[in-house]
Every structure is written in structure tokens, then in C-alpha cells.
């Protein structure tokens, strides 16, 4: 404020008074409620898109039949692919998971 000229000070003071008067028209809690709702909606959308391999595992266990080695190997392979897909998504979203599996060699191990 001390660096402004006299006309700039008047303009700044008028702007400050205008903003103070306008701030009383819409309560801050009302605007903050919309902001929080938006943030929570985005977070919930991201949370819902993270895959859970449990449903896939139940579907594979119920639909791939056979007690022999071939059936067991097929179920195990499908479940490993499902777990790998979930891990790749979680690795892209979560920093701790990325630190645990930084390279594809860590995924293989």
C-alpha cells in the first residue's frame, strides 16, 4: 500500500470496500460446502475406480472347473493376471505401493 500512488491507493481502498461488501452477500461456509462436496466426490470417484480382485477371483473360482492340474493352473494363472492388473493400478495411484514395487523386476519377484 505504501508503494502505490494516491490515485492507486483510492482505487485499492474502493476495491477492498467492494470486496468486503460483496463477501457478506454469499456466506463463506456456503461456498466451502460446495468445495468440500466437489473434493469428496472426486475422491470417491477415484476410490471406486480402483479395482478389487476379489470379485474376479470369486467368478474364476466358480466358473473354471476341474480338480486336475490343468484346471488348477488355469485358475492360478487367471488370478495372477487379475492381481497383477490391480497391483499396476495401485502402483500408479499410491506412492507407498510404487516405492514397494519400483520396477517390473520387483513385480516379478
Measured distance CA(30)–CA(15) in Å, rounded: 23
Identify whether residues 78 and 43 lie together within a single domain: no
Please give the pLDDT value at position 1: 66
Which residues, including other chains, have CB under 8 Å from residue 79's CB and lie 6 or more apart?
A: 53, 56, 57, 60
Give the count of domains, the chain: 2
Mean pLDDT of 30-43: 89
Q: Which residue among 11, 30, 49 closes a domain?
A: 49
Mean pLDDT of 15-35: 82
Identify whether residues 59 and 96 lie together within a single domain: yes
For 80, which DSSP code?
H
Please give the pLDDT value at position 92: 86
Identify whether residues 64 and 38 lie together within a single domain: no
Q: Tens of pLDDT along 60-84?
A: 888 888 888 988 899 999 998 988 8
Q: Which structural domain range is residue 12 located in?
A: 1-49
Measured distance CA(69)–CA(24) in Å, rounded: 73
Record the pTM.
Answer: 0.55
Identify whether residues 86 and 103 lie together within a single domain: yes
Measured distance CA(22)–CA(40) in Å, rounded: 28
Amino acid at each position: 500500500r505504501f508503494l502505490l500512488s494516491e490515485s492507486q491507493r483510492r482505487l485499492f481502498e474502493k476495491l477492498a470496500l467492494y470486496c468486503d461488501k460483496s463477501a457478506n452477500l454469499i456466506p463463506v461456509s456456503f461456498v466451502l460446502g460446495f468445495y468440500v462436496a466437489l473434493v469428496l466426490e472426486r475422491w470417491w470417484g477415484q476410490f471406486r475406480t480402483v479395482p478389487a480382485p476379489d470379485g474376479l477371483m470369486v467368478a474364476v473360482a466358480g466358473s473354471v472347473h476341474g480338480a486336475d492340474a490343468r484346471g488348477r493352473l488355469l485358475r492360478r494363472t487367471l488370478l495372477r493376471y487379475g492381481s497383477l492388473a490391480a497391483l499396476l493400478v495401485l502402483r500408479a495411484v499410491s506412492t507407498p505401493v510404487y516405492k514397494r514395487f519400483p520396477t517390473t523386476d520387483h513385480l516379478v519377484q
